[in-house]
Amino acid sequence: WGPDDDDDQQRRGASGPVRVRVPAKVNLHLGVGPLRRDGYHELNTVYHAISIYDELTARRGDTLILTMEGEGTGELALDDTNLAIRAARALAGYAGVPPHVRLHLRKQIPLAGGLAGGSADAAAALVACDALWGTGLSRDELAGIAADLGSDVPFLIHGGTALGTGRGEAVSPVLARPTSWHWVVAIADGGLSTPAAYAELDRLREAGAAGPPLGSTDGLLAALRQRDPRVLAASLGNDLQDAALAMRPSLAGTLKAGEAAGALASIVSGSGPTCVFLAANADDADRIAAELATAGVCRQARTAHGPVPGARIG
Tell me whether residue 107 is one of the annotated catalytic residues: no
Beta strand 312-313 with 101-107 is unpaired
Whole-number minimum distance, CB 100 to ligand C5P, in Å?
A: 26
Reduce the DSSP state of residue 60 to 3 states and report it: coil
Q: Does 254 bind ligand C5P (CB under 6 A)?
A: no
* # chain residues binding ligand C5P, by CB under 6 A: 12
Q: Which of 54, 121, 130, 152 is catalytic?
A: 152
Query: Which position among 155, 181, 198, 277 is part of the footprint of ligand C5P (CB under 6 A)?
Result: 198
Q: Which of 25, 54, 121, 242 is catalytic?
A: 25
**Nearer to ligand C5P by C-beta: 82 or 194?**
194
Cα angle 83, 87, 93 (rounded to 5 degrees) comes to 140
Whole-number minimum distance, CB 236 to ligand C5P, in Å?
A: 19
**Which positions from 137 through 196 interact with ligand C5P, judged by CB under 6 A?**
150-152, 167-168, 194-195
d(CA 298, CA 251): 9
What is the length of the chain?
314
**Nearer to ligand C5P by C-beta: 258 or 273?**
273
Q: List 68's β-bridge partners, or say none.
A: 105
**Nearer to ligand C5P by C-beta: 43 or 223?**
43
CA distances from 61 to 58, 69, 79, 103, 190 (A): 9, 19, 17, 9, 34
**Which positions from 34 through 73 interact with ligand C5P, judged by CB under 6 A?**
39-41, 43
Binding residues for ATP: 110-120
d(CA 2, CA 8): 10
Whole-number minimum distance, CB 241 to ligand C5P, in Å?
A: 15
Beta strand 312-313 with 18-35 is antiparallel
Tell me whether residue 152 is one of the annotated catalytic residues: yes
Q: What share of the chain is helix, strand, coil (3-state, %, to 5)?
A: 40, 30, 35
Whole-number minimum distance, CB 201 to ligand C5P, in Å?
A: 9
- The neighbour count for residue 89, using CB atoms within 10 Å, is 16
Q: Which stretch binds ligand C5P (CB under 6 A): 1-9, 33-41, 226-234, 253-261?
A: 33-41
Which residues are marked as active site? 25, 152
- Give the footprint of ligand C5P on this chain (CB under 6 A): 39-41, 43, 150-152, 167-168, 194-195, 198
